Amino acid sequence: MIDIIILIIGLLASAGVLLSFCFKNILLIRFINAIGCLLWISYGILLSLDNTLLSGLSIWLSNGLILCIQIFYLLRLKKTTQKPTPQPSTPTPPSSTVQTIEDWHCSL
């Protein structure tokens, strides 16, 4: 029974990674790929528990690192897409005031 569960998780992980190649939006690509990585990590850990400890090491270790990269870029994308808070602007004098000061200065 556990073999079937491991197989299903592996197939879902493959589908998640393949699905991430079908989108153009980079945020969606990274999000779906991160879910695929989580499934691959689960697959690798279950494979390790079912067999020997080292049998799934390369699977969960590489996908764990890829997941960290995906999270880093997702947070970076979120940070760059947030609108900056508006800065208070300093009022500029009307052009007539500037012209008046120039006239006054030139008449001296």
Residues 6+ apart with CB under 8 A from 60: 40, 41, 43, 44, 45, 48
C-alpha angle 63/68/69, rounded to 5°? 95
Q: Bigger pLDDT: 60 or 96?
A: 60
Place 78 in a pLDDT band, splitting at 50, 70 and 90. Answer: confident
- pLDDT tens for residues 41-69? 999 888 888 777 677 888 889 999 999 99
The overall pTM is greater than 0.85:
no
Instruction: Take residue 24 and report the two structure tokens written for it.
Output: 């153009």
| Higher-confidence position of 54 and 6 | 6
Q: What is the predicted pLDDT for the residue at 14?
A: 92
